[in-house]
Structure 1
Amino acid sequence: MIWISSHVGILENVVPETFVSFHSGRSSWGNYSQINPISIGIEIVNFGHNEIDDSWDPFFQEQIRIVGLTVTRMVNQYKVLPHNIVGHSDIAPNRKTDPGVMFPWGQLYKDYGIGAWLDSDEMNETVIIAKYRPSTPCPRIPDQKLFVNYLGIYGYNITDEVQAIKAFKAHFTANQKPELYNQNVTHLEMYWIWALVAKYLH
């Protein structure tokens, strides 16, 4: 067993993918409480959040291109489900904030077809119902308790509700929009989590 923190470091391989690396630390996703043995970690050099001026370091397009190509190959090779392509903050929201709000999850979905995201037409409730036949109706009002329950269904550890909410927003509704990165649950968050559960966990 090799004790190194990730499998891939953009731009070099660190640990062979067939070995266990200790990239996730104490984390969980869905029914799994031990992520290291069942996942592949990719590290990208980025300064993250600057607390002095409350800014986020952008990612370079070359980094995203390499991530896109690398993960596309891994998805095809290992048959990874879209909603299982997640960031450190998704699997350990009480400890981590990386890759942060500026990591372009939507671009990776649109340009490389990897990860979970909603298509433009899926921002319509009628489309979600027709395509995926969700088992629950679309929430009509912001409800933190209901939202957190959906987060747990989707895969998040909801022990720390606030950090789980923020992790979700960094990945989805506040992505590329740092000004929206907070613990508030709005109609937008309610719609996204309902639609994502319908799309990927139906």
Structure 2
Amino acid sequence: MKLFCITLMLVLLVLLAGCASGPSIDKSYTATGQGSRVQYVVLHYTSTNLPRSLELLTTTDVSSHYLIDSNPATIYQLVDENRRAWHAGVSSWKGRTWLNSTTIGIEMVNKGYTDTPSGRVWQPYTEAQIQALISLLKDIVKRHDLPLGSIIGHSDVAPQRKVDPGPYFPWKRLADEGLVPWPDANEVARKQAQLAANLPNIAWFQHQLARQGYEIIENGQLDKQTRKVLAAFQMKYRPSNYSGEADAQTAAMLLVLNSKL
């Protein structure tokens, strides 16, 4: 009886081991028709300090693939790149919606802004933090074979409700590193001079912003949603003035950028 029980236990253990290991899969063939699930990298700031950022991104429904501290500039990986992180929310870019499924989210420890009696005060990013971000972005772009234009901000994909990474984020610095497209200053100056005397109408601005990738209703009206999208574009390419007004310089930047699409 004892021998029978021992034998039965061994059989059960073998069966359980087989179940635990899953099906036998032959991986000797690889399809050529495949690519990374990642289409974009979305940049954010956390609006708070490191301890609170880690708490929010690891214990709530909000998450990101990476978190970059400011001092020291430590890169934390919180979600595997092959898994979905909950960072973009209701979002849209170039017709794609709900971007969590196709993006890598990077949060940077930065308080964003504080509203004071004298106006809104933004927190700058540290040099070490930006250097760490650039290094991470270059690695991600290379591994996922991402084309130029794949690195965008939360304010790009959700301009009606988000402003991060904010006007102090150095997009031009990323452009100088070959990571984002940037309009040539001389071309912009020439176009601006031409457009100053004959500014395009709002429908034109809306169409050009939609070509960039922004979700915008092309109704020909300078309404609240259009102002927010204009401000998001200006905050990225002209952070000294993100008024949301349709002006000649903004039109020139749109023309130069869209001519490269």
TM-score range, shorter chain: 0.7 to 0.9
SS of the residue corresponding to residue 50 of structure 1 reads strand
- Distance (whole Å) between structure 1 residues aligned to residue 87 and residue 143 of structure 2: 20
8 Å contact from structure 1 (residues 85, 116) kept in 2: no
- 1:28 equivalent among 65, 68, 92: 92
- 2:139 equivalent among 57, 73, 88: 73
Letter matched to residue 23 of structure 1 = H
- Distance (whole Å) between structure 2 residues aligned to residue 182 and residue 30 of structure 1: 24
Letter matched to residue 134 of structure 2 = G
SS of the residue corresponding to residue 67 of structure 2 reads strand
Structure-1 residue corresponding to 2:230: 165
**Is 1:146 matched up with 2:204?**
yes
**Is 1:90 matched up with 2:156?**
yes
- Distance (whole Å) between structure 1 residues aligned to residue 201 and residue 144 of structure 2: 37
Q: Which has the larger radius of gyration?
A: 2
8 Å contact from structure 2 (residues 231, 244) kept in 1: yes
CA RMSD of aligned residues (A): 1.9
Cα deviation code 1:45-96 (max 9, x no counterpart): 1111222131211110111101111111111111222222100000000110
**Is 1:19 matched up with 2:77?**
no
Cα deviation code 1:108-159 (max 9, x no counterpart): 111x210121244543658xxxxxxxxxxx8541533211111111100114
SS of the residue corresponding to residue 194 of structure 1 reads helix
Aligned residues: 183
SS of the residue corresponding to residue 9 of structure 1 reads strand
Structure-1 residue corresponding to 2:246: 185
- C-alpha distance 124-7 of structure 1, shift in aligned 2 (>3 A): same
- Distance (whole Å) between structure 2 residues aligned to residue 93 and residue 117 of structure 1: 20
**When the two structures are superposed, what TM-score results if normalisation uses the length of structure 1?**
0.84
Any unmatched runs of 5+ in structure 1? 127-137
- Distance (whole Å) between structure 1 residues aligned to residue 233 and residue 160 of structure 2: 12
Deviation at 1:168, TM superposition (A): 0.5
- 1:5 equivalent among 39, 57, 63: 63
SS of the residue corresponding to residue 40 of structure 1 reads strand
- Distance (whole Å) between structure 2 residues aligned to residue 49 and residue 158 of structure 1: 26
- 1:106 equivalent among 172, 197, 209: 172
SS of the residue corresponding to residue 192 of structure 1 reads helix
Equivalent pairs: percent with the same residue? Answer: 31
| Structure with more relative contact order (C-alpha pairs < 8 Å, separation 6 or more) | 1
8 Å contact from structure 2 (residues 112, 122) kept in 1: yes
Larger fraction in strand: 2
**When the two structures are superposed, what TM-score results if normalisation uses the length of structure 2?**
0.65
Deviation at 1:34, TM superposition (A): 2.1
- C-alpha distance 76-124 of structure 1, shift in aligned 2 (>3 A): farther
**Is 1:63 matched up with 2:129?**
yes
Letter matched to residue 97 of structure 1 = V
